[in-house]
Amino acid sequence: MQGLKYFEKHLSSEFSVENVSFWKACRDYRHLASRLLERKAADVNLQLQLKANEIMGLYITEESVTQVNIPAPTRKNVIAAVKVGKLDADTFLAAETEIINLVRRACVLCCVHAWYLSTLLRRISFMRVFVLA
The string of pLDDT tens digits covering residues 73-132 is 999 999 999 999 999 999 999 999 998 888 777 665 555 555 555 565 565 554 444 444
Q: Which residues of 48-62 are buried (b: 16+ CB within 10 A; e: fewer)?
A: beebbeebbebbbee
Q: What angle do CA 20, 26, 27 make, to 5 degrees?
A: 90
CA dist 106 → 39, 45, 72, 102 (Å): 39, 36, 20, 6
Element (H, E) at 27: helix 17-39
Find out whether 91 and 82 touch, Cβ atoms under 8 Å. yes
pLDDT tens digits, residue range 1-14? 566 666 566 655 55
pLDDT band at 60 (very low <50, low <70, confident <90, very high): very high
Q: What angle do CA 93, 94, 96 make, to 5 degrees?
A: 60
Q: What is the pTM of this model?
A: 0.70
Domains of the chain: 2-99 (1.10.167.10)
CA distance 32 to 48: 8
Contacting residues for 16 by C-beta, under 8 A, at least 6 apart: 103, 106
